[in-house]
Amino acid sequence: MQEGFFCNYSEKDCQELIHCLLEGEYQIPRFQRDFVWKKDQVAKFIDSLVRSYPTGSFVVWRTKERLQANKEIGQVFLKEPKAGEIYYVLDGQQRITALFMIYQGLRVQRSPRVADDYQDIMLRLESDEERDFCFVRDPKAETNKVAVSVYDLISQSILEIQEKYNLSLQEAKRFEKFKQKIEKYRFPVIEITNASLDKIVEVFARINTGGTKLTPFEVMCAKFYIPPTTDSTQTIITHPGFDLEAKFRALRAELDELDYAFDHPMVVLQLISYWLRSNIQENLTKKIAIATILRLEPEKVQQTWDFIAPCFIHAAHLLKHDLKIPSFDFLPSVGSLMLMAYFYALSEHKSPNAKQIANLRCLLFRSMFFSNNITGDTLLKQLGLVEQIHKEKPVDFKKELPRTTTKEFLMEEKINTRNGFHRGILCVLATLEPCDFDNNSKVLLDNLFVSDTTKSKKRNLHHFYPKNHLKHLNPDFNPDVIANITFLSAKLNQEIKDSPPKIYIEKYRQSNPHLNQTLQAHLIDPSNPKVLEDYQAFLHMRAQKILEKIKELT
pLDDT (tens digit, 0 to 9) for every residue of the chain, 554 residues total?
Answer: 445 678 899 999 999 999 999 999 999 887 776 788 899 999 999 999 999 999 999 999 999 887 877 788 888 888 888 888 899 998 888 999 999 999 999 988 877 788 889 999 999 998 877 788 999 988 777 767 889 999 999 999 999 999 999 999 999 999 999 999 999 999 999 999 988 877 777 777 677 645 456 677 877 887 787 777 766 655 665 667 788 888 999 999 999 999 999 999 999 999 999 999 988 877 778 888 888 888 888 889 999 999 999 999 999 999 999 999 999 999 988 999 999 999 999 999 999 999 999 999 999 999 988 754 443 468 888 999 999 999 999 999 988 888 888 899 999 999 988 888 899 999 999 999 999 999 999 988 865 665 444 434 446 788 999 999 999 888 899 999 999 999 998 889 889 989 999 999 999 999 999 999 999 999 999 888 899 999 999 999 999 999 999 999 98
Determine the 3-state secondary structure of 188 from DSSP. strand
Query: Strand 26-27 and strand 86-91: pairing?
Result: parallel
CB under 8 Å to 133, separation ≥6 — which residues? 47, 50, 51, 123, 124, 125, 126, 127, 178
Cα–Cα distance measured from residue 124 to residue 135, given in angstroms and rounded to the nearest whole number: 8
CB under 8 Å to 456, separation ≥6 — which residues? none
For residue 484, count other CB atoms closer than 10 A to its CB. 25
Determine the 3-state secondary structure of 168 from DSSP. coil
Give the Cα-Cα-Cα angle 530, 536, 537 (nearest 5 degrees).
35
**Rounded to an integer, what is the distance from CA 284 to the centroid of its chain?**
24
